[in-house]
Amino acid sequence: MRRLTLMLALLASPVSAHEYWLQPLDYTVNPDATLMAQIVNGSDYVGQKLPYLPQRFVRFDDVVNGTASPVAGRTGDIPAVQIPNPPEGLNVLVYQAQNATVDYKDWDTFVRFTEHKDFPGILDRHRERGFAEEAFREVYSRYSKSLVAVGDGQGADQRDGLETEIVALTNPYADDLADGMKFQLWYGDAPRANVRFEVYDRSPDGTVTQTFLKTDDQGMVTVPVQPGYTYMADAVLIREPAADLAAETGALWETLWANMTWAVPD
């Protein structure tokens, strides 16, 4: 009953259940073990664990040293990622979901969302486009990544061709983290400069803290980190949907969500 209640709550609230992330069961894995990770939809590190469903994603890869291998699975698998004997090095899980829609039940919910994600000018633009301050539909897409160390964990993240993407410029399992983790945020072929970069950290005792950062002129940001913590970064952009997508879905706005998870070893 509790699981059903959680699923209904997630489906009912477009604001409280926005994050969509890959959550490894262990961020450091031996090469002769199995790399396992959940797909999770929720907020504040709490959410619904989703099964492996090929019809729900555009791509699902494990990228090691620039080589991408499809994440294989059986429909309905939970955890969704189960990779036996993964290649040694930094494994970057890359997931792009199919488009989906959400209906805002009232105008105030959208206002709170734009404030939380720091979308200046969007409310004015909504009015300029001739739309009323009332319920409407949004179409959205998810672009999630996760950094997992297999064996020595050596290697580097890179751009993987996602429309919006967080790229780790630091390897949390092999690099010096005294100055934090460095990232660069992308949209298409350009860095996303001077935009909100949201970070959740979870301490060893399970306490979750949310921090708002901002990318610089080159789309870069540094995240302070601590040993034994796990982290999730999230960055969202909003745009007018293409005419064909708007006609197909009935959506007035489109959002694209970039997400990344990682851990800092003790």
The residue whose two tokens read 């009232």 is 106
- Name the nearest CA neighbour of 57 among 104, 9, 22: 22
For range 181-204, the mean pLDDT = 98
| pLDDT tens, position by position, 84-109 | 999 999 999 999 999 999 999 999 99
Q: What is the pLDDT of residue 20?
A: 96
How far lies 160's CA from each of 67, 145, 147, 164, 192, in Å?
10, 10, 13, 10, 16
| pLDDT tens, position by position, 112-131 | 999 999 999 999 999 999 99
Confidence of residue 8 (pLDDT cuts 50, 70, 90): very low
Confidence of residue 68 (pLDDT cuts 50, 70, 90): very high
- Dig out the tokens for 180 from the structure: 């934090």
Q: What is the pLDDT of residue 97?
A: 98
* pTM of the predicted protein model: 0.92
- Name the nearest CA neighbour of 201 among 235, 175, 227: 227
Confidence of residue 9 (pLDDT cuts 50, 70, 90): very low
Q: What is the pLDDT of residue 18?
A: 79
Average pLDDT in the chain:
93
